[in-house]
């Protein structure tokens, strides 16, 4: 598990640090303070610098389709990653794990012509003499560059670039991370086909969990779920005692949301799950039970979770759920911007959350 995280020159963070991380890390704060960006930085790091995540980050923000010239595509993919769009400064994401291991990801732009002049990009050793020169921060020159993702624990340098025909390429093509990780965004529809695929993988590997019992927290009438073909692909169906089974998406957002969360925890053993606006779809009356289910699943599969929220009820319910457990593996932080412009993570204990809620003081 990650115990501390430091971010430099990424999105809205010039410099940001957060420490004493736990198994479950809940993040609050106002709009545009950096909650989602923190999740994005984390997932870039634990993906071992997989360039595919750069494209995925746009999708999590609702920008699924990227069109235009090679220059425009490169600008969309890369410029928004850098703090204040300053591509002359590299992004650094650094973490210390619970066993004292240091993980560092460096992200920067480099002239593609310079790299091609010396040949292969397969190893960092081959790139020691390559200089990041002829870089342009404007859109016109952006496609002449490539995005380099250099992960401290790998000899392989990851590179993303845009071909002259507009195709976006990665080198090497396969960048499978050592630790599994998932990101559930707040702006996208429920990933029904992906849920069915993850459910099937659990069954094939005989790692089934009692998903029905967990989902009964949201829909008590549910007695069975399974994956079946539909006009939109393979999806999960639920049996609630009606004449026929229904797609889980037709049984309410809460049921679909909890399914997505639990399946990702169960298929990321010893890995990471990040969830943006974790409270989405859940009625306040069941949110404490939802947290209890999340707690049991993350502990069983040894998963570390990071989640954002705008809900005071979700914050209090999380603390209430964890108070009853033998190990209190939850931390809540509110991100706040200081007069200096830097963002800080302020931790609140369970007693503090209860006290400020009764006093009607904002902690979300």
How would DSSP label each residue in 41-87?
A: HHHHHHTTS-THHHHHHHHHTT-----S-HHHHHHHHHGGGBGGG-T
Identify whether 17 is part of a domain. no
One domain, residues 57 and 142? yes
* CA-to-CA separations, 149 to 54, 72, 108, 178, in angstroms, rounded: 10, 20, 7, 16
**CA–CA separation, 189 vs 356, rounded Å?**
34
Domain that holds residue 125: 48-171
Per-block average pLDDT, block size 10, for the chain (364 residues)?
A: 97 96 94 95 91 84 77 84 93 96 94 61 45 42 80 85 85 79 84 93 88 93 95 94 94 93 96 95 90 92 96 87 78 93 89 64 56
One domain, residues 284 and 151? no
Provide the whole-model pTM: 0.88
Handedness of CA 226, 230, 235, 241 (dihedral sign): negative
How is residue 50 written in tokens?
């997989």
Identify whether 167 is part of a domain. yes
One domain, residues 186 and 294? yes
One domain, residues 81 and 122? yes
How is residue 179 written in tokens?
């630790």
Bond from prior residue into 172 cis (ω within 30 degrees of 0): yes
One domain, residues 262 and 303? yes
One domain, residues 227 and 320? yes
Confidence (pLDDT) at 62: 72
**Of 118, 139, 171, which one is at a domain's C-terminal end?**
171
Identify whether 13 is part of a domain. no
Confidence (pLDDT) at 361: 54
One domain, residues 252 and 128? no
Identify whether 208 is part of a domain. yes
Confidence (pLDDT) at 121: 46
* Number of structural domains the chain divides into: 2
One domain, residues 243 and 305? yes
One domain, residues 214 and 252? yes
* CA-to-CA separations, 172 to 51, 71, 126, 158, in angstroms, rounded: 9, 22, 14, 6
**Of 171, 203, 229, which one is at a domain's C-terminal end?**
171
Q: Listing from the earlier edge strand, what are the strands of the sheet with 233-239?
A: 224-230, 233-239, 246-247
Tell me how many degrees the CA angle 285-345-95 measures, rounded to the nearest 5: 105
Identify whether 191 is part of a domain. yes
Q: What is the largest CA-CA distance in the chain?
A: 69
One domain, residues 162 and 190? no
**CA–CA separation, 148 vs 157, rounded Å?**
7
Identify whether 100 is part of a domain. yes
One domain, residues 238 and 314? yes
Check if the beta carbon of residue 240 is closer than 8 Å to that of residue 223: yes
Check if the beta carbon of residue 259 is closer than 8 Å to that of residue 195: yes
Q: What is the CATH number of the domain that holds 317?
A: 3.40.50
Identify whether 362 is part of a domain. no
Neighbours of 62 (CB within 10 A): 10
**Of 134, 150, 171, which one is at a domain's C-terminal end?**
171
One domain, residues 163 and 244? no
Please give the backbone phi and psi of residue 357, each rounded to the nearest 5 degrees, phi first. -65, -40
Tell me how many degrees the CA angle 346-350-351 measures, rounded to the nearest 5: 100
């Amino acid at each position: 598990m990650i115990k501390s995280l430091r971010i430099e020159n990424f999105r809205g963070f010039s410099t940001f640090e957060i420490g004493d991380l736990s198994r479950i890390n809940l993040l609050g704060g106002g709009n545009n303070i950096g909650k989602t960006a923190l999740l994005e930085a984390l997932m870039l790091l634990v993906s071992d610098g997989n360039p595919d995540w750069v494209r995925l980050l746009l999708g999590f923000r609702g920008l699924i389709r990227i069109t235009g010239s090679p220059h425009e595509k490169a600008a969309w993919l890369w410029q928004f990653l850098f703090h204040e769009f300053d591509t002359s400064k590299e992004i650094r994401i650094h973490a210390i794990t619970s066993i004292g291991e240091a993980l560092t990801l460096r992200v920067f732009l480099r002239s593609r012509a310079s790299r091609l002049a010396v040949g292969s990009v397969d190893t960092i050793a081959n790139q020691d003499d390559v200089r990041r020169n002829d870089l342009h921060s404007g859109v016109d020159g952006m496609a002449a560059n490539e995005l380099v993702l250099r992960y401290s624990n790998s000899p392989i340098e990851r590179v993303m670039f845009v071909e002259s025909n507009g195709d976006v390429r990665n080198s090497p093509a396969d960048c499978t991370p050592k630790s599994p990780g998932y990101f559930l965004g707040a702006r996208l529809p429920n990933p029904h086909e992906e849920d069915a695929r993850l459910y099937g993988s659990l069954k094939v590997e005989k790692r089934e969990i009692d998903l029905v019992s967990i989902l009964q927290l949201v829909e008590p009438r549910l007695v069975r779920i399974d994956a079946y073909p539909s006009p939109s692909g393979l999806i999960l169906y639920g049996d609630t005692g009606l004449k026929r089974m229904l797609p889980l998406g037709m049984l309410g957002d809460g049921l679909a949301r909890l399914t997505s969360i639990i399946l990702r925890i169960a298929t990321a053993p010893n890995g990471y799950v990040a969830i943006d606006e974790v409270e989405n779809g859940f009625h306040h009356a069941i949110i404490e039970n939802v947290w209890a289910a999340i707690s049991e699943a993350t502990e069983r599969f040894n998963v570390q979770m990071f989640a954002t929220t705008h809900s005071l009820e979700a914050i209090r319910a999380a603390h209430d759920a964890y108070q009853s457990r033998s190990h209190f593996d939850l931390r809540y932080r509110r991100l706040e911007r200081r007069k200096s412009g830097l963002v800080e993570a302020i931790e609140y204990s369970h007693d503090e959350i209860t006290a400020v809620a009764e006093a009607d003081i904002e902690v979300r």
